[in-house]
């Protein structure tokens, strides 16, 4: 595993992706435009833009191939939340995202858990980032640490290693860290009708399947999707906002709570590599919708 100098430089703390055999080929093909761990800085003009475009907010395209017009900045802190590493200039989003994070922060404060620590949202005009994420391009995604604050401003800017919710080696869930507070944070988020998906580590998803009563699993656990990484933070994604006609929603999540064979697939051994497999294509940035050209160049 490649160990980067900064956790926030490459998807919090990158880990070797372990994918279900059925998904491995699909995953690699879908993510070919960018590398699995973003060590390289990509030459993308979207990372050089320092301010949003004007006008009404519009999410354009899909989470991994899009942009946002009229994005709004999230305050450095508010009731029940604090923003990490603002120097990265990734604290912008659609007003629906800001409204959701505000609601979630208020729920966090009411529960007296300590403020949410919010990581990357989107760049001022969205689009591909030079490092770190494939998604987060349309202003409807955000990362939130499982470990609440508070943190002093200087510490928020220099955080290097948020704690994992997994045991050493990623062999299971650390129940001293992943407990009722973390479950409640996910519950508060998933119950919000604006939320389309929440990505968590597959070990954490399985723990939720094992520990929650059936009625609660049926209510909201289907929105919590298993993925690689995502053991220090969870990744929320909203539905396409009203008034964003060019926003592309993902396919609906499958019916049910997700505590089925699709989850167990994450724990099966991966097939051996094919020595005759073609060489992966050279990483490249995605081609964005034509409407994003005007967003990028707007004065």
pLDDT at 1: 30
In a domain, 72, yes or no: yes
pLDDT at 47 over 60: yes
Provide the domain limits for residue 206.
Answer: 57-157+169-247+288-299
What is the average per-residue pLDDT within 54-75? Answer: 97
Query: Which residues partner with 145 through β-bridges?
Result: 233
What is the average per-residue pLDDT within 238-262? Answer: 96
Residues 276 and 45: beta-carbon distance below 8 Å: no
pLDDT at 40: 60
Nearest to 222 by CA among 257, 259, 264, 192: 257
Confidence of residue 33 (pLDDT cuts 50, 70, 90): very low
Specify the 3-state DSSP secondary structure of 73: strand
How many helices (H) and strands (E) the chain has is answered by: 8, 11
In a domain, 141, yes or no: yes
Confidence of residue 284 (pLDDT cuts 50, 70, 90): confident
Confidence of residue 20 (pLDDT cuts 50, 70, 90): low
pLDDT at 63 over 80: yes
- The label of the residue with tokens 């802190």 reads 77
Nearest to 30 by CA among 7, 1, 63, 72: 63
Distance CA 74, CA 77 (A): 8
In a domain, 14, yes or no: no
Confidence of residue 131 (pLDDT cuts 50, 70, 90): confident
pLDDT at 194: 98
Q: What is the pLDDT of residues 192-241, one digit of tens each?
A: 999 999 999 999 999 999 999 999 999 999 999 999 999 999 999 999 99
Confidence of residue 17 (pLDDT cuts 50, 70, 90): very low
- Count of domains observed in the chain: 1
Better-scored residue on pLDDT, 135 or 16: 135
In a domain, 229, yes or no: yes
In a domain, 39, yes or no: no
Distance CA 5, CA 245 (A): 40
Distance CA 238, CA 25 (A): 27
Residues 90 and 161: beta-carbon distance below 8 Å: no
pLDDT at 22: 41
Q: pLDDT exceeding 70 applies to what percent of the chain?
A: 87
Q: What is the pLDDT of residues 164-199, one digit of tens each?
A: 999 999 989 999 999 999 999 999 999 999 999 999
Residue 255 Cα to chain centre, angstroms:
22
Preceding amide of 37 cis, omega within 30: no
Q: Where are the alpha helices (DSSP H) in 83-133?
A: 95-110
Better-scored residue on pLDDT, 61 or 161: 61
In a domain, 268, yes or no: no
What is the average per-residue pLDDT within 51-66? Answer: 97
Q: What is the pLDDT of residues 87-108, one digit of tens each?
A: 999 999 999 999 999 999 999 9
Residues 209 and 273: beta-carbon distance below 8 Å: no
Specify the 3-state DSSP secondary structure of 67: strand
Confidence of residue 283 (pLDDT cuts 50, 70, 90): confident
Residue 33 Cα to chain centre, angstroms:
18
Residues 20 and 261: beta-carbon distance below 8 Å: no
Distance CA 281, CA 177 (A): 39
In a domain, 48, yes or no: no
What is the chain's mean pLDDT, rounded? 88
| CATH number of residue 208's parent domain | 3.30.1380.10
The single-letter DSSP state of residue 122 is B
In a domain, 240, yes or no: yes
């Amino acid at each position: 595993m490649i160990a980067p100098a900064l956790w926030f430089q490459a998807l919090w703390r990158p880990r070797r992706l372990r994918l279900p055999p059925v998904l491995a080929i699909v995953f690699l093909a879908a993510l070919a435009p960018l590398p699995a761990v973003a060590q390289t800085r990509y030459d993308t003009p979207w990372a050089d833009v320092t301010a949003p475009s004007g006008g009404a907010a519009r999410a354009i395209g899909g989470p991994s191939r899009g942009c946002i017009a009229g994005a709004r900045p999230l305050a450095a802190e508010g009731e029940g939340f604090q923003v990490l590493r603002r120097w990265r200039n990734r604290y912008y989003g659609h007003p629906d995202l800001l409204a959701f994070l505000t609601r979630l922060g208020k729920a966090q404060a009411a529960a007296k858990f300590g403020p949410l620590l919010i990581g990357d949202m989107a760049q001022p005009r969205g689009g591909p980032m030079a490092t770190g994420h494939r998604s987060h391009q349309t202003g409807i995604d955000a990362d939130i640490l499982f470990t609440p604050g508070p943190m002093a401003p200087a510490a928020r800017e220099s955080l290097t290693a948020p704690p994992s919710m997994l045991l050493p080696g990623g062999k299971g869930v650390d129940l001293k860290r992943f407990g009722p507070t973390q479950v409640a944070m996910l519950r508060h988020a998933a119950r919000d009708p604006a939320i389309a998906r929440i990505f968590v580590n597959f070990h954490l998803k399985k723990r939720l399947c094992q520990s929650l009563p059936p009625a609660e699993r049926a209510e909201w656990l289907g929105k919590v999707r298993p993925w690689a990484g995502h053991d220090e933070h969870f990744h929320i994604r909203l539905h396409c906002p009203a008034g964003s006609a060019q926003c592309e929603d993902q396919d609906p999540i499958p019916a049910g709570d997700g505590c089925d064979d699709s989850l167990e697939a994450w724990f099966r051994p991966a097939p051996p590599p094919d020595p005759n497999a073609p060489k992966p294509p050279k990483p490249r940035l995605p081609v964005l919708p034509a409407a994003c050209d005007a967003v990028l160049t707007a004065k």
